[in-house]
Structure 1
Amino acid sequence: MIITGVDGSHAGLEAAGWAAREAALRAAPLKIVHAIPQWACDTTTGRYAEVAAWMREGGHSVLAAAADRARRERPAIDLSTSLLPGDPRTALTTASGDAALVVIGSHGLGAVRGFLVGSVAYGVAGQAACDVVVVRELPALPRGEVVAGVDGSPAAEPVLDAAFAEAELRGATVRAVHARNPPWAGDPRTPAGRDPLALDRHRERHPGITVIEEVVHDHPVRALRQAATGADLLVVGSRGHGTFAGMVIGSVSQALLHESPCPLMVVHGGPGRAS
């Protein structure tokens, strides 16, 4: 199942449309959700009953608009909607335990003015139990390519698994980008004579996928932003080299939430990847 969280914003509608296309590709059901305060879900009598009813009605209107957008994209998908009680970050993170993928817009209601990415997108991308796609920009003419950011760590394996799976669904090319800044001799992740991207296993499992390999001497955020311009999807890990213990999401992935030129998939791995 794919879950997409919407909030009534344009970004939320774009996320619903993208999620509908992804659901059709995967032949998976799509659930569109919207969160309102717990008290508004529970209050049906008393002093604030009218306000609570107004909030529930507004939530259902948000869901209806997003469902209409999703159906216009892919009319035949298995689609449902649901109001979730509580803070959007907590509600979506909890719901992610039953999902293969969570899709959200990059910002919308609740985002502080001046922030490039909303707190909901940041929180869910860092804490979800499954992979998360943040829809920030949609290329006008995507070039049929999925870009994977890899760093030579074990965390790169689920990133490549996801990138190849998404490319196979789309009939797209995989561009695997390993960026180092600055380059230095004797990097233990890239021993002499060894492919730093370690793509052999993925090529064997997906023999029909064309693969482009890039080792770039540049800052990872800049290199990935450039590589992903015009791509269908950019895939990164939730953590990697250089991530401080206790951080919710790695610094490269965090920066790309603000700067990715195409939909960004943050891979968490685990059972949520299966279906």
Structure 2
Amino acid sequence: MGVDGSRSALEAVSWAVREARLRRTGLRVVHVMSSWPLEAGEDTPHAEVGRWMREGAESTLEGALGRIREGGGDVEVTSELLPGGDPRRALIEAAADAGLLVVGSHGLGGFEGMLLGSVALGVAGHAPCPVAVVRRAPVQPRGRVVVGVDGSPAGADAVAFAFAEAEVRDAELHAVHAWSRPIVGCGPFALADAEEAAQRERRALAEALAGQGERHPDVKVVERLEYGHPVEALREASLEADLLVVGSRGRGDLKGLLLGSVSHSLLHHAACPVVVTPFPGRAPGRDEDRESAPRAASRRT
């Protein structure tokens, strides 16, 4: 996970520790800083400035590690200072063999009142693994995971990820499929047409979930067919959830987009942490990939 010393990042640290504990895996904590303070020697110009910057970066990492120690030491933690000018690129590269990348919703560089920072938005949909953006994490577990279902390839990976999350959390899985269409005509013909459309959407929801119940037989699934816009339906569902899972982009988004309009909006407005699974072909996101441990780092605690 990436940290920068902000309150949002420290809250994300606590969430990431609980997630690692649930998965029974390690946690790698990284902080991105400019390359030259890490590479500059003591006999170079501005050596004192470089030393001051390194000390500040190390203090940021130590603050995150202290937060982890407060929550208990039963998770193996490694930490590392990463050189790089753009933290988004550095975090994406660092996540090459990770099962999940965790970031806070906004960092030290964000404007006051911003709902989502540039780093969180920049890594979601671009990273080679699912990305968790932590904002408004529930103090007490609610026992519910929500997944947005749209029948797209990205949505299929989101469903698989959500089933696995519900299983390790011993939580209910609420599968939400929102749909809307204009009703042409009036009277009994319009009603019959609307009911036929609802049946098609209900079948689409069932097909999207097919097979996952056999892989995760202990997960209780609540199928929710909502008439309306998916952003509003999923935002409402997130009010009572521990986690919301969505694909990076769905059926209605323009080809070439890495982050779709629904996932983009929910990163700003969901009432719980959001996981965005990558578009198929970019990354691992299925159950077997989620078991991989983070790569080795430079410090342990």
TM-score, normalised to structure 1's length?
0.92
Per-residue deviation, 1:258: 0.6
Number of aligned residue pairs: give it: 272
Per-residue deviation, 1:156: 1.9
Which one-letter code corresponds to 2:68 in the other structure? Answer: A
Per-residue deviation, 1:191: 3.6
The percent of aligned pairs where both chains have the same amino acid is 50
Between the aligned partners of 1:109 and 1:74, the Cα distance in structure 2 is 26
Contact kept in structure 2, 1:152 and 1:196, CA below 8 Å:
yes
Contact kept in structure 2, 1:238 and 1:266, CA below 8 Å:
yes
Between the aligned partners of 1:177 and 1:160, the Cα distance in structure 2 is 10
Per-residue deviation, 1:89: 0.3
Match of 1:41 among 38, 46, 51: 38
Question: In structure 2, the residue corresponding to 1:157 is in which secondary structure?
Answer: helix
Which one-letter code corresponds to 2:163 in the other structure? Answer: F
Q: Deviations over 1:253-272 (max 9, x none)?
A: 00111111111000115335
1:122 aligns with 2:121: yes
Between the aligned partners of 1:267 and 1:189, the Cα distance in structure 2 is 27
Between the aligned partners of 1:138 and 1:7, the Cα distance in structure 2 is 18
RMSD of the TM alignment (CA)? 2.1
Greater alpha carbon shift after TM alignment, 188-197 vs 44-53: 188-197
Between the aligned partners of 2:202 and 2:176, the Cα distance in structure 1 is 18
Instruction: Give the structure, 1 or 2, with the largest relative contact order (CA under 8 Å, sep 6 or more).
Output: 2
Q: Deviations over 1:138-193 (max 9, x none)?
A: 12333201000011223221111100100110100100000123466699997477
1:250 is matched with 260
Question: In structure 1, the residue corresponding to 2:131 is in which secondary structure?
Answer: strand
1:83 is matched with 81
Question: In structure 2, the residue corresponding to 1:32 is in which secondary structure?
Answer: strand
TM-score, normalised to structure 2's length?
0.85
1:57 aligns with 2:66: no
Between the aligned partners of 1:62 and 1:183, the Cα distance in structure 2 is 53
Per-residue deviation, 1:132: 0.5
Contact kept in structure 1, 2:120 and 2:133, CA below 8 Å:
yes
Where structure 2 has 5 or more consecutive residues not aligned to the other structure, the ranges are 184-192, 293-301
Question: In structure 1, the residue corresponding to 2:148 is in which secondary structure?
Answer: strand
Distance 1:110 1:190, change over 3 A: farther
Between the aligned partners of 2:198 and 2:127, the Cα distance in structure 1 is 28
Contact kept in structure 2, 1:71 and 1:77, CA below 8 Å:
no
Per-residue deviation, 1:245: 2.3
Distance 1:194 1:55, change over 3 A: same
Contact kept in structure 1, 2:125 and 2:277, CA below 8 Å:
no
Between the aligned partners of 2:202 and 2:96, the Cα distance in structure 1 is 41
